[in-house]
Structure 1
Amino acid sequence: MPHIENKKQSLAEIFSQRTGRLISSEKILIGSVISKIELFLVHYRDIIAKEEIKAIHIEYEYTDGIAEYPTMMSSTIDIDELDGLIKSLEHIWDKVISTHPRNYTEVLFTSRSGIKLGCVYRSDWYFYMKVSESDDRSIVSMRIDCLYTLLELLTKAQEM
């Protein structure tokens, strides 16, 4: 029997895939970190049971230069993880990137669904995001100032 890898899922993804239920989803654009990475607030509702859940949905448009069309990769961060993510990224912004370690150093936040956000020090700090846990093509390396842009967008999402 072939091994089938189970993708980690956020609580919102599990909620949205309930069977035997009438589920609606509303997707609201929060903004872009860079041109190929967009953040959305997604609001899922079980219309009959009157239950709902919100999440941050991140989409990355990957182009390899060979395929005619880009590949869309996405992941979800549950709302209950948002406060911890913002605090982690603020700590990186305020404390971590002002240091100059002697060795390769990585600082990382991992969400329930497997999305990774953090920074790496080689000779300078670089911010990165890995949108899909199982696909290395989803790793996006960005200038450190993109971290601040992401923080602004996540804070905006928290207020929505």
Structure 2
Amino acid sequence: MKKVLFMMAVVFLAITANAQTNKQEESSKSETVQLLQKDGVLLRKDFYDIGKVGGVTFQNIIITDMSTGEKTGALRLETYYYSSSLGTDTYIGTLDFDELEGCIKSLTYIKDNVITSLPEIYTECEYKTKDGVRLGAYVRTTKKERDWRIYIQTRSYTNRSQEFLSSDKLVEVISLLNKSLENLKAHL
């Protein structure tokens, strides 16, 4: 009897954990993601490659509602996680068009004012989007050194979606964000 109760408890916990993960995945506040999840609408999706830094791929998506002609766009950030037992998982997060300028300003501030010196204590600085994408910098401390690192996390519910880069890559990230913004302006 104890084995049956134990098995039922394990199954219940697994179902609950899976339901929570699915709920977290669906809780995006991004207007682009919400449009993509709409039912009963014919949507055209055009994809424009922007570039890549480390293991993060930058790609714009322009979505057109074919019945109204209304367009919206966003930057898609893609990261990958490889596990020998699970294979490769792909994680995609979005920055809506109206978030890009704020993200660029925030990362430029980090580049010009935050990572210019090392603080005595552990420090993080982060920008978060409506879809839960996180871009930021933190002080990494190892036995041999302390330095600034930057990170991009495309899905807030899993650390597997994180990509860590050296702080000198921040200039490239900002450049790709600017390229994305110009591309979206040209197509919207």
After superposing on structure 2, the runs of 4+ consecutive aligned residues of structure 1 that deviate more than 3 Å are 1-4
**Paired residue type of 2:43:** I
In structure 1, the residue corresponding to 2:83 is in which secondary structure? coil
TM-score for both structures, normalised by structure 2? 0.79
Please give the alpha-carbon distance, in whole angstroms, between the structure 1 residues aligned to 2:156 and 2:95.
13
Please give the alpha-carbon distance, in whole angstroms, between the structure 1 residues aligned to 2:24 and 2:40.
22
Cα distance, 1:103 vs. partner? 0.3
Structure 2 residue 91 is matched with structure 1 residue 73 = yes
Correspondent of 1:17 among 37, 52, 76: 37
In structure 2, the residue corresponding to 1:119 is in which secondary structure? strand
Correspondent of 1:134 among 131, 136, 157: 157
| Aligned residue number for residue 156 of structure 1 | 179
Asked which structure has the greater CA Rg, the reply is 2
For the structure 1 residues 109 and 158, does the alpha-carbon distance in structure 2 shift closer, same or farther, using more than 3 Å as the test?
A: same
1:1-160 mapped onto 2 (5 Å cutoff): 2=16, 4=20, 5-7=23-25, 8-9=27-28, 10-34=30-54, 36-67=55-86, 69-122=87-140, 123-160=146-183
Which structure 1 residue ranges, 5 or more long, are not aligned?
none
Between structures 1 and 2, the one with greater helix share: 2
RMSD (CA atoms) = 1.5
Which structure 2 residue ranges, 5 or more long, are not aligned?
1-14, 141-145, 184-188
Among all aligned residue pairs of Structure 1 and Structure 2, give the percentage whose two residues are the same amino acid.
28
**Paired residue type of 2:160:** R
Report how many residues are paired: 158
Please give the alpha-carbon distance, in whole angstroms, between the structure 2 residues aligned to 1:6 and 1:156.
30
TM-score for both structures, normalised by structure 1? 0.92
Please give the alpha-carbon distance, in whole angstroms, between the structure 2 residues aligned to 1:149 and 1:58.
14
